Structure 1
Amino acid sequence: MSTPRRHRSAFACQNCRRRKVRCSVSVTGIPCVGCTQDSIDCIVHQTQGLKRQQPKETFGQHDSFHGPLELDLGLPAAEARRALQPLSPASVDQGLSSAASYASPNDGSKRAGDARSSRSGTELRGNQDEQRAGTEISSAALGQNNQIAGAPFYTGEAPGFTSILDACSPSQQPAARHILISEVPISLSDEDREYLRYKGVFTLPQKSTCNELLRAYFHHVHPIMPVVDASVLLKLHQTGKASEWNLLLLWSMFFVAANFVEANVWTHEGYSSRNEMKLAMYSRAKCMYDNGGETDKVVLLQSALLMGFWHSNRDGHSQPWYWTGVAISLAQILGLHRDPDSFKFNTSFPSHRRRLWRRLWWCCFFRDRSLSLTLGRPLRINLNDCNMPMASAADVISDIGQIPHSVAKAYIPDDLPQLAEYWVLLIQLNKLLGDVLTLCYQPFGPSPMLQQIQSLEEEILQFYIPERHGKTQSRLSSFYLYHLQMNYYAVLITLYCPFIANAPSDLPLENKETWQAEIRSKMDSAALRSNAVVDNIVRDKLLPFSSPMTAPLLVSAMHVHLLNCKSEDALSRRLSLNKLELCMMVMEELEEMYTSASVYRGVFLEAIRQLHPNYSASSTMSDSNSTDFSQPRASFSNDAMMVPLINDDILTALLDESSCFNFWESFSDIQMEPIQPGL
């Protein structure tokens, strides 16, 4: 027995005909279920006459009709003519009230009949939409979709359900995993648009301020987080159409760039402080993220990475860890962790998109490793599941070549190629950091063996850090080289720290004391070298170039100096405190830009006072003639602003010699009094 073919009525409203879905107007009258669900006008084209009933057309046979419409309503002719009359407000109510009685003439409740009809129509249309989406995904993955589409989509890997497409792929090659599908734009309602206008997202800073913010962004943020296609923005801005660019991404860029502009920029905009300007710009970026209807996941990813530099007690859920997690999730949804050309070259994606994807993925990776260290959180990215090729310096500078020379000169640093090389080294160094965290800081993982520790140490020590190029190197490039060196010494300290108290289980007992003393010496040396880098930054007057990641890099060395303040030797205690105070002075300078620096400094102040109750912070180094650093000093006027509420667990972890990483696990639960918002 043959299966009966499904038919659709030739009579359909304009919306259902355009969407190629079954229209219920022949049953419910005007409006149909679909238009009622979408809250749009149900328009049925007027015909010039009625012909006798014709056989129903098969679904999908015709998309449009030419000439008189042939009806198959299943209604008397008079009712059919009434159904074709233009829609009016009164007819909407009449059509809705009569639909139930027609659909279920014996039903005693018209409301129940209408509800059943609405549910049935909605479910039917939903099933058809889902089936159409599945068909489009399958066709694109198998290379059979010739439609113009622009939204990247990642089908997933085995054992995901789309892996069944491999069986249908020609020549026994896996189906494409990275495809393009149709975009579904979202139209903002008048209420949403008015709310965004009220929040100020459509009001850009003055043009001179935009120029300064863009220049600051590409000099101080882009070299270490190249998440934006520079050519698009700068071309639009040069033509005076920056407001036509994506406002979500624009406010996200402005928010981070506000850290590096001169004071006259934010005063010119009417802000009382830099932090007030940052708060306003972050609030607008977040408002656009939550309410702007953005559907481009690449833009959402870029914005989330930039908003990951926000740090304030006003919205604890939006700390850097939160936004970075959002960015990583979006990257994995897009499939940026996988190589789109792993099986064969994917012709769907242009080369510039591949370069941007590599940059975005490795920026996610970099933030994952660095925040895991500074916040004591688990790693989110498992490199065993990733095969995205490593980004290169060419990926960073590729889009700059498309910018006119005069524009590039105004916004882009001249030594961007050198800065791009430093960025690649930073990513590679964070790979080693991830190996350290995986080997040494997993509570339920196997205890590291001596050979594993030595092999990882050798790999880190062989890592090449370039030397400074003397006077030929710009101040900006010099700072980023120092920043790279600080990352390097932080990785070394992180490797050595847990073995001060816990030696490898396979280490012979007679060698334990000697081995641990050697490890302690190596850790002290790395902390001392980190201080030397900080001293170079201060001496060369490069501290204004500090990024939101600078303050956390000091913490590892500060922890080592703090532990040495417990030494039994008085001179060693004094020297260790002097080293610690150098870092504290730098933290003090960074407080104006970054809230995190205030938090770190407050934590260490309280820890020092636990060791020496009479200690008081000062803005200068202690008197070299002083023989007892526990005596009172000139109090720092902002001590009252050091607002972290330190509990015993945090102090115990901070003073514990076994792990600075464990300290940050406790620090994550810190409570703070209200402070100025910022990074």
Structure 2
Amino acid sequence: MSTPRRHRSAFACQNCRRRKVRCSVSVTGIPCVGCTQDSIDCIVHQTQGLKRQQPKEPFGHQDSFRGPVDLELSLPEAECRRVQQSMSPASVEQGLSATTSYTSPSDESKRAGEARSSHSGTDIRGNQDEQRTGTEISSTALGQNNQAARVPFYTGEAPGFTSILDACSPSQQPAARHILISEAPVSLSDEDREYLRCKGVFTLPQKSTCNELLRAYFHHVHPIMPVVDASVLLKLHQTGKASEWNLLLLWSMFFVAANFVDAHVWTLEGYSSRNEMKSAMYSRAKCMYDNGGETDKLVLLQSALLMGFWHSKWDGHSQPWYWTGVAISLAQILGLHRDPDSVKFNTSFSNHRRRLWRRLWWSCFFRDRSLSLTLGRPMRINLNDCNMPMASAVDVVSDLSQIPPSVAKGYIPDDLPQLAEYWVILIQLNKLLGDVLTLCYQPFGPSPMLQQIQSLEAKILQFHIPENHGNEQSRLSSFYLYHLQLNYYAILITLYCPYIANAPSDMPLENKQTWQVDVRNKMDSAALRSNAIVDNIVRDKLLPFASPMTAPLLVSAMHVHLLNCKSEDALSRRLSLNKLELCMMVMEELEEMYTSASVYRGVFLEAIRQLHPNYSSSSTMSESNSTDFSQPRGSFSNDAMMVPLVNDDILNALLDESSCFTFWESFSDIQMEPMQPAL
């Protein structure tokens, strides 16, 4: 009896052939899974042709039956894919001259057994690699691994499975949760690199444009979102090697900074508008995020936070809520919500890394609370599960010590230390915002008691907002101080709004009306103060400093003014409408840069017309603008395009005296008409 012939894999790399294991190159391409796990080069021999061997007929007949085709190929990746497609059953049948083919049951059994054997070998190797990873995590967490490593890893807390390491800790203390482990490098294939090249990610703007974008970023974005290590980028850029830095993060920074550059910058790059420039840069950042093979979770986190300022009809799944959620998930995967030194000082991490981690985590927290208010969606971060120390101004300015003064002067604002102090105050304000949303806007939470409301109100009123120092501070610092004040009064309005129609359940009946009138007066006062801040911003010509987060801060005050437009007193209605129109004019200016401002303005314009059918918006025009107010200059050609966005639920929410937060729940479901991509 002849020895059964062993059927080999159709094609395999040199390493898998030598080890006689199944190669994945026909499925995954070069490199295969085995070579990737072993961190070695994946070599596939050049084409040697297609070998066919026709076995003897199984029944000894010289008829049209043919046995299985035995193929042994050694091809480059492109040829592998072509041949793999040609090996489909339909293709093989078409390539044979016979009308039918025959495979004996014994042959099928042999091939199935060989396949199981090959897969078993691959599975064993995969299991061994996973076991090695688990061993490295355990030994590192227990302080028994002296190998050099650089990738942060968070083992997790109880009741996670890694908490069992505490029982093995030689020091009788909990094992380290934040450790460094090794990670195999990832290289892009030629096809992926060519795709990225075609998408333009390797083509940076002109050097002068890069200078303008970087300066805009560190003046207007970094002070309120200090998520980038400034020292690394500026050193590389000063030496003319910015292209060697992480392109994913670079395009993400450029995309946000494009809001603040002069028109000649995007004109020089050949764009017809600012929105077109932003759209192109966001597209490149997202392409790198999806296809660039980035494995550094810190870089992915930084990029996701910045891309969280993208807002476009054409990219609906990637709205700010989506990207911020990605950033928070990455931060929690890295363990940034927990103090790496909670048990003992962790010598694996430098102070520089600690400062960056604190900035990243509290930036995630700030965006979480801000978007929860703006969009009326649940908060993702529960501070009861977090013990990361509060960030400080030193964490923000610490990068400056590593930057040459000549370089810092060209990119960094002179008063960054002051702006860093404002950023810390902003984080603290958002803690208060989270307390308000938790107490007053959770549908299944306990009904707030009068003492709880008064206690939280006292806590907010005792919060100290710095005073304006006039000529002693820069125009940039003045704007960020106004931005802090707008945040403060938006929080007060959010606290008061639910109780102008519904008093706490434990409120004595005889005090109910008096208390609600008092709350209404406090809310009106906060809205009036917001208008005064807006007036100061316009008077001091600081509106060009407005960020993507400025327009949403006006909405709370605008809602109060709109409710007052329902007053029975004619003079009160007119005054309230004038206050609302001031905010509408500011929205008109902002909509040139931010899509959200166009949307807000369109919604409120329609709500005003519901209250005043004969309302003419011409009174909100500036003297230099003869265009009707219903024809914004930004993403929309006329406000009629906005009308389909506003349904009855949204209008009812706007005109409901207790709906400040539920309005945004309805508004977040709006399906926008096509518009220019913008923030």
Q: Shared fold (TM-score greater than 0.5)?
A: yes
Q: Deviations over 1:114-154 (max 9, x none)?
A: 32122111211111111111111101111111111111010
Q: Tell me whether 1:535 sits opposite 2:538 in the alignment.
A: no
Q: Deviations over 1:48-107 (max 9, x none)?
A: xxxxxxxxxxxxxxxxxxxxxxxxxxxxxxxxxxxxxx97755998999799xxxxx976
Shift of 1:476: 0.2
Moved more, 412-421 or 182-191: 182-191
Residue in 2 that maps onto 1:150: 150
Counting only pairs closer than 5 Å after superposition, residues 206-605 of structure 1 correspond to structure 2 as 206-605=206-605
Contact 2:13 / 2:45 at 8 angstroms: preserved in 1? no
Shift of 1:222: 0.2
Q: What is the identity, as a one-letter code, of the residue corresponding to 2:397? A: I
Contact 2:275 / 2:678 at 8 angstroms: preserved in 1? yes
Contact 1:148 / 1:182 at 8 angstroms: preserved in 2? yes
Q: What is the identity, as a one-letter code, of the residue corresponding to 1:430? A: N
Superposition misfits of 4+ residues, deviation over 4 angstroms: 13-16, 23-26, 31-42, 86-99, 105-110
Report the CA distance shift for 1:200/1:621 in structure 2 as closer, same or farther (over 3 A): closer
What SS does the corresponding residue of 1:602 show, helix, strand or coil?
A: helix
- Percent identity of the aligned residues? 83
Shift of 1:672: 1.7
Q: What is the identity, as a one-letter code, of the residue corresponding to 2:551? A: A
Report the CA distance shift for 1:113/1:598 in structure 2 as closer, same or farther (over 3 A): same
Report the CA distance shift for 1:437/1:40 in structure 2 as closer, same or farther (over 3 A): closer
Q: Distance in 1 between matches of 2:443 and 2:31?
A: 61
Counting only pairs closer than 5 Å after superposition, residues 77-116 of structure 1 correspond to structure 2 as 108-116=108-116
What SS does the corresponding residue of 1:506 show, helix, strand or coil?
A: coil
Q: Deviations over 1:407-435 (max 9, x none)?
A: 00000000000000000000000000000
Residue in 2 that maps onto 1:193: 193
Q: What is the identity, as a one-letter code, of the residue corresponding to 1:182? A: S
Contact 2:630 / 2:639 at 8 angstroms: preserved in 1? no
Q: Deviations over 1:158-183 (max 9, x none)?
A: 00000000000112100000011112
Shift of 1:636: 3.5
Residue in 2 that maps onto 1:45: none
Q: What is the identity, as a one-letter code, of the residue corresponding to 2:519? A: I
Shift of 1:199: 0.7
Q: Distance in 2 between matches of 1:275 and 1:35?
A: 43
Report the CA distance shift for 1:396/1:41 in structure 2 as closer, same or farther (over 3 A): closer
Q: Deviations over 1:262-288 (max 9, x none)?
A: 000000100000000000000000010
Shift of 1:34: 7.8
Q: Deviations over 1:576-610 (max 9, x none)?
A: 00000000000000011000000000000000011
Report the CA distance shift for 1:390/1:191 in structure 2 as closer, same or farther (over 3 A): same
Contact 2:153 / 2:178 at 8 angstroms: preserved in 1? yes
Q: Distance in 2 between matches of 1:558 and 1:478?
A: 23
Contact 1:641 / 1:675 at 8 angstroms: preserved in 2? no
What SS does the corresponding residue of 1:171 show, helix, strand or coil?
A: coil
Residue in 2 that maps onto 1:127: 127
Q: Distance in 2 between matches of 1:621 and 1:275?
A: 24
Residue in 2 that maps onto 1:628: none
Shift of 1:112: 2.1
Q: Distance in 2 between matches of 1:444 and 1:38?
A: 49
Q: Distance in 2 between matches of 1:575 and 1:286?
A: 46
Counting only pairs closer than 5 Å after superposition, residues 8-23 of structure 1 correspond to structure 2 as none
Q: Distance in 1 between matches of 2:517 and 2:316?
A: 41
Contact 1:558 / 1:580 at 8 angstroms: preserved in 2? yes
Report the CA distance shift for 1:247/1:635 in structure 2 as closer, same or farther (over 3 A): closer
Q: Distance in 2 between matches of 1:163 and 1:480?
A: 44
Q: Distance in 1 between matches of 2:311 and 2:157?
A: 36
Contact 2:22 / 2:118 at 8 angstroms: preserved in 1? no
Q: Deviations over 1:604-640 (max 9, x none)?
A: 00000111111132263699xxxxxxxxx96543372
Residue in 2 that maps onto 1:183: 183
Residue in 2 that maps onto 1:204: 204
Report the CA distance shift for 1:270/1:332 in structure 2 as closer, same or farther (over 3 A): same
Contact 1:305 / 1:327 at 8 angstroms: preserved in 2? yes
Q: What is the identity, as a one-letter code, of the residue corresponding to 1:356? A: L
What SS does the corresponding residue of 2:448 show, helix, strand or coil?
A: coil
Contact 1:617 / 1:636 at 8 angstroms: preserved in 2? yes
Q: Distance in 1 between matches of 2:27 and 2:51?
A: 14
Contact 1:275 / 1:676 at 8 angstroms: preserved in 2? yes
Contact 1:231 / 1:402 at 8 angstroms: preserved in 2? yes
Q: Distance in 2 between matches of 1:98 and 1:256?
A: 53
What SS does the corresponding residue of 1:388 show, helix, strand or coil?
A: coil
Q: Distance in 1 between matches of 2:628 and 2:72?
A: 86
Contact 2:531 / 2:579 at 8 angstroms: preserved in 1? yes
Report the CA distance shift for 1:642/1:345 in structure 2 as closer, same or farther (over 3 A): farther
Report the CA distance shift for 1:634/1:396 in structure 2 as closer, same or farther (over 3 A): closer
Q: Distance in 2 between matches of 1:98 and 1:575?
A: 86
Residue in 1 that maps onto 2:618: 618
Give 5+ residue unaligned stretches, structure 2: 1-11, 33-43, 54-69, 74-104
Q: What is the identity, as a one-letter code, of the residue corresponding to 2:494? A: T
Contact 1:231 / 1:400 at 8 angstroms: preserved in 2? yes
Shift of 1:191: 1.2
What SS does the corresponding residue of 2:152 show, helix, strand or coil?
A: strand
Moved more, 255-264 or 664-673: 664-673
Residue in 2 that maps onto 1:20: none
Give 5+ residue unaligned stretches, structure 1: 1-12, 17-22, 43-85, 100-104, 624-632
Q: Distance in 1 between matches of 2:236 and 2:611?
A: 57
Residue in 2 that maps onto 1:170: 170
Q: What is the identity, as a one-letter code, of the residue corresponding to 2:331? A: A
Contact 1:33 / 1:121 at 8 angstroms: preserved in 2? no
Contact 1:563 / 1:657 at 8 angstroms: preserved in 2? yes
Residue in 2 that maps onto 1:637: 631
Q: Distance in 2 between matches of 1:299 and 1:108?
A: 50
Q: Distance in 2 between matches of 1:33 and 1:315?
A: 38
Q: What is the identity, as a one-letter code, of the residue corresponding to 1:141? A: A
Report the CA distance shift for 1:612/1:335 in structure 2 as closer, same or farther (over 3 A): same
Q: Distance in 2 between matches of 1:219 and 1:25?
A: 58
Shift of 1:40: 6.2
TM-score by length of 2: 0.85
Contact 1:308 / 1:320 at 8 angstroms: preserved in 2? yes
Q: Deviations over 1:25-51 (max 9, x none)?
A: 57x4xx765888876699xxxxxxxxx
What SS does the corresponding residue of 1:519 show, helix, strand or coil?
A: helix
What SS does the corresponding residue of 2:153 show, helix, strand or coil?
A: strand
Report the CA distance shift for 1:574/1:118 in structure 2 as closer, same or farther (over 3 A): same
Q: How many pairs align? A: 601
Q: Distance in 2 between matches of 1:94 and 1:175?
A: 60
Shift of 1:388: 0.1
Shift of 1:676: 1.4
Shift of 1:188: 1.0
Contact 2:217 / 2:257 at 8 angstroms: preserved in 1? yes
Report the CA distance shift for 1:198/1:608 in structure 2 as closer, same or farther (over 3 A): same
Residue in 2 that maps onto 1:60: none
